[in-house]
Structure 1
Amino acid sequence: MTNRLPLLTLTVAATFAGGVALAETGILTGESSLGPVLTNADGMTLYTFDKDEGGVSACYDDCATNWPPLMAADGAEAEGDYGLTERTDGTMQWTYKGMPLYTWVKDAAPGDVTGDGVKDVWHAAKP
């Protein structure tokens, strides 16, 4: 039960911050040393990649191993600032304000933002 309390807090924050329903995107708002950041349903920070253009992901192969895309469930629909982009394999990835979203394999716990600034092209996604 202790592990569920932070997730519940994040869910409430996302709902009141005008975020899309948790069941649809799994995207929440969480706190970090950088201030509020977008997170996945597990509370892990989401990132954007400067090399993504036109809402299309440029992160594949080794890049996607280190920066796993935030995948959308079949039938997911865009709403507000949250959109979808098709990956080369036909799967769908969530976007925020047109930027594809990713997690970072080196973040170990919710609130970690170790991917922010990597190679000056990765940035924590902020609401």
Structure 2
Amino acid sequence: MLSRYLLSIVTMACSLTALAQPIEGADGRLTDPSGRVLYTFDRDSAGVSACKDECAVQWPPFSASPDASAKPAFSQLRRDDGSLQWAHRGKPLYYFVGDAKPGQASGDGLGGTWHVARTRPAETPDSGPSYSPKGY
């Protein structure tokens, strides 16, 4: 009972800015309109959230309003509790409670299953030309 109460408080707090659709940052990261980073969960399947109960307390869903219109690649899914959640290419989107400020992404890679939501792969720094001699 207490965990459901906490979940509703955290979800409500995160939902205040979550009624608009996700925004793509310059580096391809997805954020909410206030700049809070969004995440995906490897255990989710297309259009279905596997993050419930205690999981959703730590990883609150990025809520959607019923009248929000989605751009291509974005959609809404209905959670088990009847609320709507934004998805990118079918993958549900979440916040991480450990992120204290916009742009922070301290949940990236946690448990090997949580990742910053991106519209394209992260760019890796160019280490310059590589040398590979022939025949070796």
Coarse TM-score class (shorter-chain normalised)? 0.7 to 0.9
Select which of 44, 47, 64 maps to 1:55.
47
Per the TM alignment, residue 37 of structure 1 is displaced from its structure 2 partner at its CA by: 0.8
Select the structure of larger CA radius of gyration. Answer: 2
Give runs of ≥4 in structure 1 deviating > 3 Å. Answer: none
Give the aligned CA root-mean-square deviation in angstroms. 1.8
Aligned to 1:30: 25
CA deviations on 1:57-115 (whole Å, 9 max, x unpaired) are 01111111110101111222433100111100111100001100001000111111111
TM-score, reference length from structure 2: 0.69
Pair 1:94 & 2:89 matched: no
Per the alignment, in what secondary structure is the counterpart of residue 64 of structure 1? helix
**Number of equivalent positions:** 102
Q: Which has the higher strand share?
A: 1
Structure 1 unpaired stretches of 5+: 1-23
CA separation in 2, counterparts of 1:54 and 1:98?
5
Q: Percent identity?
A: 44
Structure 2 unpaired stretches of 5+: 1-18, 120-136
Alpha carbons 1:77, 1:84 under 8 Å: kept: no
